[in-house]
Amino acid sequence: MSSLQDFKLEDLDVNNMGVWPTPVKAVFGAIVFILVVVGGYVLFVSDDEDALAAAKNTERELKQSFETKQRKAVHLDAYRDQMKRIQNSFESLLKQLPQSSEVPGLVDEISYAITGAGLELDNISLKGEIAKEIYFEEPLDIIISGGYHQIAEFVSRVSNMPRIVTLHDFEISNTGREVFGTEGEMMLKMTITAKTYRYDEGGEVQQ
């Protein structure tokens, strides 16, 4: 196979490559080189690229986590001050919740608010404690009679009480009578539920 012009592909003998024409040897060598490079890339470089991409993602996540923790660390004193203010506010609210022994006294305070507003007290009665998640609820059924402005005065007095008292489920009806000492103002009857609350400090609710 001394001449490339006389060369035929079927004349190639893989066991005797030394006699191949030089151009054929060059082409074959180039093909082998390309195959080696591609195979090496697939076996080694592509895996390294995947590992590099995973490492970059991990680095990004760690950086974000570090920045978040750094911001928290910078504001740690402010967070502590805020928690202290929240704790103080919580303790202040707890002091506004009556203890069980104070509920009868609270009933007296509501009675004073009724009479102080010039209303007639028809009925006030305790319904019994209701256990909630971390506190007890003490509802009181109240029936009062008086003018519109007197009822508004009563609500105002209750909202200004030192202990927490909330008003719920009110119903107002016309009695058909005039308010004593006034002309033209009709007497109203209001049925309402007042609720006080007691903090479950001893874990009674769970028990």
* 22: Cα within 13 Å, side-chain hemisphere: 1
* Element of type H or E holding 178: strand 165-178
What is the residue-level pLDDT of the chain in tens, covering all 207 positions? 444 455 555 555 556 655 666 666 677 677 777 777 666 666 665 566 667 777 788 888 888 888 888 877 877 788 888 888 888 887 777 776 766 667 778 888 999 999 999 999 999 988 888 887 777 888 999 999 999 889 999 999 999 988 888 999 989 998 888 877 666 778 899 999 999 887 766 655 555
How many domains are contained in the chain? 2
For residue 50, tell me if it sits in a domain: yes
**Collapsing DSSP states into helix, strand and coil, what is residue 172?**
strand
**What's the confidence (pLDDT) of residue 41?**
63
Domain residues for 184? 100-199
Cα–chain center distance at 108: 40
Q: Please check whether residue 172 is in contact with residue 119, taking contact to mean a CB–CB distance below 8 angstroms.
A: no
For residue 16, tell me if it sits in a domain: yes
**What's the confidence (pLDDT) of residue 117?**
92
For residue 79, tell me if it sits in a domain: no
Residues 165 and 105 in one domain: yes
Residues 62 and 105 in one domain: no
Residue 121 belongs to domain with CATH number:
3.30.70.60
What is the pTM (predicted TM-score) of this model?
A: 0.53
